[in-house]
Structures are given as C-alpha cells and as structure tokens.
Amino acid sequence: MKIQEILIIKNSQENYGISTEDINQIYRVPSLMDLPLRPKGTRGLYGLGGNIVSIVDVNILLDMPEVDLQATNSRLLSLNGNLSSNALLVSEVYNTVDIKESDIEYIDIPNDPVIAIYKYKDSLVQVLSLATLISKISKVKIDSREVNSGKVKHIDTKEENSTKFLIFAMSKERFALNIDYLREIILSDFNYTDIAGSSQDLLGLITLREELIAVIDLRSYYGFSTQKSEKNRILITSCAGETIGLLVDDIIDIKSFADRDIEYMKESFQENKISGVIHDNNSLISFFDEEVLKTIFLKNSTYIDSTSKREIKAEDSSTIAQEVIIFKLAGKEYAFDVEYVAEIIDIVDATKVVYSDENIEGVINIRGRIVTIMSLFKKLGIPTKINKDSKIVVCDINEERIGFVVDSISDIIDVKTDELRTQDDELFSNVLHLEDGHRLILSMDIQKIVSN
C-alpha cells in the first residue's frame, strides 16, 4: 500500500507517522469514561458523533509510558472506516506532510505495526499501521445505534438468545455474575470462623443450613477498599460441585442481556479475574462466570471440602421447594417466586393512565417495551413511600410484563419444603419459616394478586 500523506505524532522519545486516510478529526483530550479492569492499551470510553468509542493509548501499545491526560499537547484522534470504533490518544500532534517516494522505505515484517521509515528533515519517522497496532489489544467495541431526536433507538428482540446476570457493586463499580452459578444471596452479618494461614481475602467459614462455606471478600480479591455496610451481601455460588461465598458491597439488579451485548475477553485481563464485558446502553459491566469461579475455587481449594459439600447439596436438593426473592415494604419482609422475575431496575416515574384500576401506578417504557406498574403498597393497605433504595421488580406473568415497586431487595434464597407453611389467603400462598423459625416471611402469590 502506497502512503500519500502522514500525520506526524511525537512523544518524549520517538516520532511516528499515521496515514491521514485513517484519521477523521483531531480533538483536545476530554474527560473519559473509566473502564474497570480494562485491557492493556485501553484508557477508557468516550462519546464521539453519537457512538461510544474505545480510547486507545498509542504510547502503551508501543511499550512506553502512558499519555498524560492533563498535558497541554495531548490530543485525541478519531478514526475512519473499520477503525472508527476506536480513537487514538497521543502525546503530541506535530505536522502533516506529503510523502516523497524517494524518502520512504517500506518494511515487510509480519505482525509488526511499523510498516515504513520516512526521512523527514533531520529525523526518521516510523510509519504505523493502525490496524496492526490496534490488533495488539482485544478492543472494546460498542456497536453504533441509530439515534433519533437525541434518544437511542432500540430494536425489540424478544426472540434473541439472552443470558440472565446478577449485577452488583464493588467500590462504585458495576460487576455481573452469570446467574446460573448463583445459588442464593444472603445477609453478611455472620460471625466468621477464622482459618489459620489463610489469605487476607478469605474472611473465614460460615454455617448455612448445616453446611460449612468459605467466604471470600471479593472486594479485597479485586483490590478494592472494604467497607462494612448494611447493604453488604454474600453471594453463595456453586460451580463444578464446589460452593463458596463472595462478599460484595451491594446488589443492584437482575437483568437479561442479549448474547450480542456480551463480549468475552478473557485473554485481555490479568490473573483471569474477568471473563469479559457486557454492553449496557452507553456503559460497560465487567462480568465473570465459570472459568473465573474455578480460579477462585482453586486458590482456596485447601479450605473447601468438596466431597462433603456435594453430599450435603445432593441431600438438600431433594428438599428444595422453590427459590424466592425477598424484599421489603414499609420495613417488613415479603417474598415471591423468583421464577417470575425478569429483571430488577432502579425506581423511575410512571406515566399515569386515566380510568385505570386504583392499584395501577401507571406505565413505564423499558427498552421499547411497555411495563405496567402495580402498587403492592395499595394492595396491602400500606402508605406508599419511595426512598433512594427503592427498586422496581419486573415480572413476566401470563406473557405480560408487570412491575412492582419495593423498598429494597434483601435476599434471593432457596426454600426447603419443611420451611414452607401453606397459607389460605387472597394474597399470600405461604409463610416462610427461615432461620429455624426466627425469621417469618409472607410469600405472595403473584398470579392471584394480578388476577384480582
């Protein structure tokens, strides 16, 4: 390929050239959207021309100190064509020059980003192939979406394959766990049994329904600060016959993502701590699944008695009656079958519908789909009070989407047969006798509530 014109960029050590055919525009460096546990070479994300692009630091890919985002000379280069999902971060833009064929020498070394040497005045400029350079990282790519009147247009893909994830927080960052590996969510207020010689990530052992489970502080494992809060939860996870507890800051959501929005990038993350990223509107969520869990299990295999756990789980599994989600209304706990739950979202204002039932708060639009919001407060005769922790639990009931506003989400747990007491009531189907009867929870019959 013959190069007609190059843009010369500089750093403290070398001069490099980029074909101007690949460059769209040059910008001052803006504030970037941070990407947790990002691949090497990627500094973050930014919105350009209605699309979210990955910010690629040229210096890092050339094994030099990263570009100073605050430096006066630093610039951002948006790209054309197949490279447009990326933007280049450079230390300094020097000049644009026309190429004289007598002064350029092309180099043909496979997988080397330097494709030519150009003599410019008294210096040599190394001409880069951006395609080869960017291929050195697993680029984070968010497909562009059509934008109309400032709002992103989403396509309803009901038939598209999807995976359900639990979304949780650690140090203000969002992470997700494939829900197939989640057994239950429990409160974190346990007295841990210390294990001599264990790592600082291992909090100790807890007893959960006669099963000893090792608990890892996932925040410490990922290098985040650890702060005790009433929102802290333990995720009881199971994989390949092993069970372990993972302590996290807070539970945010349960949500299904289309397979096209899930990008596996295992080779891009150090120590196999992340499986990839989920493209969630204009943000990214780092997620992990089987391989990452196996790494955690392996590092703590000394403290996990896998044989006894398999025997206990096999015994328990025959007595599991249902899995429930536990939530609060006016400070009191209630539950219903998690089988109906499609996702959990933050509270949003509903649009009122005239002449509707008094228990209907209104409707909301979730990704192009209309969801009716029903008030459990009014059903139970409880004063409605919305707070900062309020959530909407969106359920699939008789092929309809119905949302219920709740104060907060407490747990997702398995309930055994002997923990259920049948209740003959218009709204409640069972009473859950948890923690040896010290925690009584009314379990709602969602279908009855909706049909009534």
Q: Which domains does the chain have, with CATH numbers?
A: 5-134 (2.40.50.180), 162-317 (2.40.50.180), 320-451 (2.40.50.180)
More confident of the two residues 13 and 138: 13
Residue range 106-115: mean pLDDT, rounded? 88
Amino acid 38: pLDDT? 64
More confident of the two residues 273 and 22: 22
- Assign 315 a pLDDT band (cuts: 50, 70, 90): very low
Q: What is the pLDDT of residues 385-430, one digit of tens each?
A: 887 778 888 888 887 889 999 888 888 888 888 888 887 777 888 8
Amino acid 307: pLDDT? 36
Q: Percent of the chain at pLDDT above 70?
A: 84
pLDDT at 197 over 70: no
Q: What is the pLDDT of residues 238-285, one digit of tens each?
A: 887 788 899 999 888 888 888 888 888 755 555 667 888 888 877 888
pLDDT at 156 over 60: no
Top-ranked range on mean pLDDT: pick from 115-129, 157-171, 366-380, 423-437: 115-129
Two structure tokens written together for 286? 């780092």
pLDDT at 47 over 60: yes
pLDDT at 50 over 60: no
Largest pairwise CA distance in the chain: 92
Taking CA atoms, 24 is separated from 10, 78, 113, 142, in Å, by 19, 5, 20, 19
More confident of the two residues 265 and 157: 265
Q: Percent of the chain at pLDDT above 90?
A: 7
Amino acid 267: pLDDT? 58
Distance from C-alpha of 255 to C-alpha of 166, rounded to nearest angstrom: 7
Per mean pLDDT, which range of 17-21, 134-138, 421-425 is the poorest? 134-138
pLDDT at 305 over 60: no
Arithmetic mean of pLDDT over the chain: 80
355's CB contacts (< 8 A; 6+ apart) are none
Amino acid 48: pLDDT? 67
- Assign 141 a pLDDT band (cuts: 50, 70, 90): very low
SS3 assignment for the chain: CCCCEEEEEECCCCEEEEEHHHEEEEEECCCCECCCCCCCCEEEEEEECCEEEEEEEHHHHCCCCCCCCCCCCCEEEEECHHHCCEEEEECEEEEEEECCHHHEEECCCCCCCEEEEEEECCEEEEEECHHHHHCCCCCCCCCCCCEECCEECCCCCCCCCEEEEEEEEECCEEEEEEHHHEEEEEECCCCCECCCCCCCCEEEEEEECCEEEEEEEHHHHCCCCCCCCCCCEEEEEEECCEEEEEEECEEEEEEEEEHHHEEECHHHCHHHCCCEEEEECCEEEEEECHHHHHHHHHHCHHHCCHHHHHHHHHHHHCCEEEEEEEEEECCEEEEEEHHHEEEEEECCCCECCCCCCCCEEEEEEECCEEEEEECHHHHHCCCCCCCCCCEEEEEEECCEEEEEEECEEEEEEEEEHHHEEECCCCCEEEEEEECCCCEEEEEECHHHHHHC
What are 440-444's contacts with CB under 8 Å, separation 24+?
441/326, 441/333, 441/334, 441/335, 442/334, 442/335, 443/324, 443/334, 443/335, 443/336, 443/337, 444/334, 444/335, 444/336, 444/376
- Assign 383 a pLDDT band (cuts: 50, 70, 90): confident
Q: What is the pLDDT of residues 354-381, one digit of tens each?
A: 667 788 888 888 877 788 888 888 888 8
Residue range 220-231: mean pLDDT, rounded? 86
- Assign 127 a pLDDT band (cuts: 50, 70, 90): very high
Reference 56, options 177, 118, 140; nearest CA is 140
